[in-house]
Structure 1
Amino acid sequence: MNKSVTLAHKIEDYKRIGITKEPAVWEDGMRTDGQAGSYEWWYFDAEYTDGTKIVVVFYTKNEFDVKGDACPTIRFDLTLPDGRHISKKISEEKGSAIRASKQKCDVKIDRSSVISCDIISDKKYKYTRQPIIMIAKNGVILEDREEFMMIERQETINHPFTKKFMDNKLKFNQTSGKNKTYQIEYHRKGDIVADSLLSGMKLSFPQRIAVKLLRMNPTYVRCIGTVTLTVRENGKQEVYEQEGLWEQMFFAKNKEAIIKG
């Protein structure tokens, strides 16, 4: 039996799970119960005019220990203007109560927001590609139609830590109407985090043997570099550029992704 994967983005899809297309305040609250088989995280990126970069991540577990008990954890990563990196992780005892609201997340955000993702499914789903795009300003969504997006991968290398592909340049080209386009370009300069998703999991000896036999190697990389948003409309062009952070995640053992579409 062939399996398929689709993007749930139709009005009936939103209704089925009790939400609307416009995000509600409660959706930023805690959505899981913290029990074995689940994990949840909230992360915040900040960059200062002197080049200092800060990433703070709150986890319901010991990072990605999905099968483990609740273990509230915070990870702090600081990259100084001269390139020095400071990392700190603090975890409470396993089984500790998770103190997070289900009604809201008290986080301040910028007036303009861009979300772009290139999601590739696993082999059993035929490596189906599911891109995501969302461009908003002052709380209003300007564009979110992924069917009009094209993705360009450039300067692809073999990452020295994960041993998997990494795009040093990644472009999302979005058509919006007859005379308007958006281009989001990520130009990678380095990483502030490169880790195995298994590192936070306390595996038993049989589990470690199984991981080796199955050649499992899920990885996570948080990149830093330049992000450029170019808006073209009726022959005019506006360019916005600043330093940014983005991530690459592999949940399987594959070193490369087959991309269709």
Structure 2
Amino acid sequence: MAPDRTTPARMGNTPEDYARFGIEAGSIKPHEDGLRTDGGPGSYEWWYFDAHLDDGAKLVVVFFTKEFTAIDKPLAPMIRIDLTLPDGTTVEKLAEFDAKAFSASTETCDVRIGDNVFAGDLQTYTIHAKAEDVEVDVTLTGQVPAWRPESGHWLFGTEAEQVFAWLPSVPEGRVEATYSIGGKTSTTTGVGYHDHNWGNTLMLKLMHHWYWARGSAGPFSVIASYITAEKQYGYSTLPVFMLARDGKLIADDKSKVTFEELGRYTDTGTGKPVANVTRYTYTDRTERYVVTYTRHSDLSTMKFVDGLKGPKKAAAKLSGFDGAYLRFVGEVRVEHYVGESLEESYVDDALWELMYFGKARP
């Protein structure tokens, strides 16, 4: 009986990989946050922003070249605004536009969809977005420098022909935000994050599921993710970890990270297995940093098929696709050990997500 063969999946980190994508190891340039695809069939791309605001609100804004599950379609720009008000009320808006409403620079981040703007230079960003009666204006100023895990390009396939790319352009920054709903306006400050994603293959064909989180506690800022590739790629695990202290990178070697899922349960709405606690431990000789995310409640639980309409919905159900997205709210705790001695511990509020494309594994 022939052994099972799996297709390779890896993070691009060779000189040839960097040359292929026109980037440099350890040096991030503004063009990396500019348009990286042509927006046409066979690609997807989005620019993402989120913030915890000091008045208790939470804000997410995303500019898309198209729905990322429809990459074979031509350019079909969209804007998404998710706003959770201080009283817990959540408003989710999606605005769709004609292709001619879209423009974007390849030299820097300057994305325009109609009158909406997402622009910046890896340090300072301005975002203006409006969908129906919800309007937001944001200034984001980076406090942790742009970073990426090695090349930031995950490569799948025997020829590394399938690409998923990710750039945390602002791992953490100061936010000034004005938001309004139905003409009622609030202005506040907060802490924010911006990243940029693109690729040339449906993510659900490459990835079974992933946890992704960011957060800050005390002097520490963290970005952490744990990606599990699809069955074709042997369910390979692809960890990501970045820890900064006082705005300076102190840890990002993925080989030193272990990941744990604790307190598992099955989410009733999506049927997906979820960890109440996710923990990333970074061990460097005698020092350890333990980053623990503890779920308090769900901000969003969504089956992708529920967002589809008509023939698309019928086709997805027929194929058995049951992908889901869950966003959690809770706390992040950062602990610093030297040997077995706990030297520091900080805790703060956090948001994180579980993207689950595949079937729940036994």
Partner AA of 1:195 in structure 2: M
Deviation at 1:44, TM superposition (A): 1.0
Equivalent of residue 327 in structure 2, options 194, 197, 222: 222
2:249 is aligned to 141
1:129 is aligned to 237
Cα distance in 2 between the residues matched to 1:225 and 1:99: 37
2:301 is aligned to 194
2:54 is aligned to 49
DSSP-derived class of the 1:96 partner: helix
DSSP-derived class of the 1:109 partner: strand
Q: For this pair of structures, how many residues does the alignment match?
A: 252
Deviation at 1:40, TM superposition (A): 1.1
CA change 1:25–1:141 in 2 (3 A) is: farther
Cα distance in 1 between the residues matched to 2:325 and 2:264: 17
- The question of 1:102 aligning with 2:208 is answered no
Deviations 1:42-64 (A, max 9, x none): 11111123321111111111464
1:157 is aligned to 265
Cα distance in 1 between the residues matched to 2:41 and 2:305: 16
Worse-matched range after superposition: 181-190 or 6-15: 6-15
Cα distance in 1 between the residues matched to 2:73 and 2:249: 38
Cα distance in 2 between the residues matched to 1:199 and 1:41: 21
**1:63–1:200 CA contact under 8 A, matched in 2:** no
Partner AA of 2:33 in structure 1: D
Cα distance in 2 between the residues matched to 1:28 and 1:217: 32
For 1:60-139, list aligned pairs within 5 A: 60-62=65-67, 64-93=69-98, 95-105=99-109, 106=120, 107=125, 108-111=141-144, 113-137=221-245
Equivalent of residue 12 in structure 2, options 5, 8, 12: 8
1:245 is aligned to 351
**TM-score calculated relative to the size of structure 1:** 0.84
Structure 1: 5+ residue stretches without partners: none
**2:39–2:75 CA contact under 8 A, matched in 1:** yes
Worse-matched range after superposition: 127-136 or 95-104: 95-104
Q: Quote the sequence identity (%).
A: 33
Deviations 1:63-104 (A, max 9, x none): 6432322222111111123221112221212x3342222222
Cα distance in 2 between the residues matched to 1:136 and 1:43: 21
1:59 is aligned to 64
**2:305–2:316 CA contact under 8 A, matched in 1:** no
1:19 is aligned to 23
**1:44–1:57 CA contact under 8 A, matched in 2:** yes
Cα distance in 2 between the residues matched to 1:19 and 1:138: 27
Structure 2: 5+ residue stretches without partners: 110-119, 126-140, 145-171, 173-220
Partner AA of 2:35 in structure 1: M
Cα distance in 1 between the residues matched to 2:223 and 2:15: 20
CA change 1:127–1:63 in 2 (3 A) is: closer
Deviation at 1:222, TM superposition (A): 2.1
CA change 1:51–1:208 in 2 (3 A) is: closer
Deviation at 1:8, TM superposition (A): 2.4
DSSP-derived class of the 1:224 partner: strand
DSSP-derived class of the 2:8 partner: coil
Cα distance in 2 between the residues matched to 1:100 and 1:188: 37
Cα distance in 2 between the residues matched to 1:96 and 1:161: 38
**TM-score calculated relative to the size of structure 2:** 0.63
CA change 1:82–1:209 in 2 (3 A) is: closer
Partner AA of 1:181 in structure 2: R
CA change 1:40–1:201 in 2 (3 A) is: farther
Cα distance in 2 between the residues matched to 1:85 and 1:209: 28
Partner AA of 2:230 in structure 1: D
